[in-house]
Amino acid sequence: MHALLINYCRNKLAELDAVTIKNIKYKGGTAEFCYLDGKKYVSTGPKGRELLPVGKLRQQLIQAQDLLMTAWRSKYGDAQIPELAPHIVTRVINEELTMDRKFFENLPSEMNDHKGSPELSYKGVAYKSKSEREIARVYDELGIEVKYETPIFINGIMFTPDFTAFSRLTGRVFYHEHQGKMGDPGYRHDKERSHRAYSDYGLIEGLDIIYTYEGGGIAFNPENIKYEVTALIMRNLDCPAA
């Protein structure tokens, strides 16, 4: 499996144009620029908008490959990595959800009646806590698109997971529920209910949904999400059919 995942990253990188992204000063502020074949394009221009997703995907692949290679050397030393042909298996959730790009684009966001605070905004979205805002920032650094509090209807009841994320690496959506008040018994009870509902619906923890926790003596470091997300994405590269 380890070699399979490394091969996947290598093969995808070989297919992509060598786009790099840099933040540089631009019109009194900073902006993302895409570099290709010695030329640079502002990300808000026509060519930049075309190249930006490619550059973000390359960043994600390179980061995943670096983590995998570090783990490989730690475990196997200088052993040669065999060439394998990885594939992605499409999962259908509960016989109705094909969690792909089209599904992600059609999802409404910010559907929870309890709105976030303008002071906790990040890129135009008002979050309810500093931790949620930091989670959004980490996903942005990873080049993974997210929507905040999109709806899932389970047995006629609407649930709104904190984050719905789309990985260009796998072409799949996954969810992230941050449970930030674990010291509150009533809050824990509500979250246990939603956790059971997601599981009954067919979402598999670590494959379709990530849970993070905070409060009640549980410390939370948003940077750790990078490792959890990478592990989830890697599992999706060769996940079992539903």
Amino acid at position 231, single letter = A
pLDDT of residue 68: 84
Strand order in the sheet with 20-26: 20-26, 29-36, 39-42
Q: Are 242 and 10 in contact (CB under 8 A)?
A: no
Q: Are 177 and 211 in contact (CB under 8 A)?
A: yes
pLDDT of residue 92: 66
Domains of the chain: 2-76 (no CATH), 92-236 (3.40.1350)
Widest distance between CA atoms in the chain: 57
pLDDT of residue 74: 86
Closest by alpha carbon to 9, among 52, 70, 90, 94?
Answer: 70
Q: Are 186 and 219 in contact (CB under 8 A)?
A: no
Q: Is 0.75 surpassed by the pTM of this model? A: no
Neighbours of 159 (CB within 10 A): 19
- Per-residue pLDDT of the chain (242 residues), as tens digits, is 677 778 888 888 998 999 999 998 888 888 899 999 999 999 999 999 999 999 998 998 898 888 888 888 888 888 888 776 655 556 667 666 677 888 899 999 998 888 888 899 999 999 999 999 999 999 988 888 999 999 988 888 999 999 999 987 778 899 999 999 999 999 999 999 999 999 988 888 988 999 999 998 999 999 888 888 888 887 776 544 44
pLDDT of residue 242: 42
pLDDT of residue 155: 85
